[in-house]
Amino acid sequence: MPESIIRYDVPMKTIKTSLALLIGAALLTGCNDDDTKYVNVQPTEVKIATYNLSFDRATFEALVNEMQIEPAQQAALVTAYLDGSIAAEDKTTAEKVIQI
């Protein structure tokens, strides 16, 4: 009995095209859904902060110390700096706090 040989001489381009068509059809099967569900999203308040820190301090610890100054003291330093009534020794600290 003669053996029959089955040869699959399908060009690679045909395989790729067929595969792309099959994947595309599979992805589009869910696009015919007429049951649209809307979700009521409640807006929430979001605060976005950006920091422009220049590392011109002598050490990282100096930056950490400046960042740990209490908000009330920061406000006092900034106010005194802006109205010109700041002491000379606090001026540099106020400038760093403003920079932070």
Angle between helices 60-67 and 88-99 (to 10 degrees): 90
Output the pTM of the full model: 0.42
Integer Cα distance of 95 and 87 in angstroms? 12
Does 44 map to a domain? no
Does 2 map to a domain? no
Integer Cα distance of 95 and 97 in angstroms? 5
Q: Which structural domain range is residue 66 located in?
A: 60-99
Task: Please classify residue 58 by burial: count the beta carbons closer than 10 Å to its beta carbon, then call 0-12 exposed, 13-18 middle and 19+ buried.
Answer: exposed
Integer Cα distance of 42 and 3 in angstroms? 72
Does 84 map to a domain? yes
Taking only the tens of pLDDT, the chain with its 100 residues reads: 556 666 566 677 788 888 999 998 888 877 766 777 888 888 888 888 766 565 667 777 888 888 888 989 989 989 998 888 888 888 888 888 887 7
Number of domains in the chain: 1
